[in-house]
Amino acid sequence: MRSLLLTLCALLAVCAAGGTATAAPARATARPVASGTAAEMSGAQAVGLVLAGGAILIIAGQLLRLRLRIRRERQGGGTDDH
């Protein structure tokens, strides 16, 4: 269970890094980077990142509910709360 959550968190980190598993090496520039360049996250990328994070939270919540339900059933308290 824990390894699945760690995998989901790693997937979110990869999405935040722009889809690459390794960080790009830092570039030394003589001039400052202007606003609106490729180094910044676009609005579509930000929305995608927020949606990916929300999906991961939903999945984690569902896995937690499943884990708790299975634990209750194993302990004999298999009554449903619905």
Residue of 8, 13, 10 whose CA lies nearest to 56: 8
State the pLDDT at residue 40.
83
State the pLDDT at residue 76.
86
State the pLDDT at residue 56.
96
Per-residue pLDDT of the chain (82 residues; tens, 9 = 90+): 566 666 666 666 666 666 554 445 555 555 555 555 556 889 999 999 999 999 999 999 999 999 999 999 999 865 655 5
pTM here is 0.46
Burial 38-68 (b: 16+ CB within 10 A, else e): eeeeeeeeeeeeeebeeebeeeeeeeeeeee
Q: What is the rounded distance in angstroms from the CA atom of residue 36 to the CA atom of residue 52?
A: 23
* Whether 66 contacts 59, CB under 8 Å: no
* Whether 62 contacts 4, CB under 8 Å: no
State the pLDDT at residue 23.
46
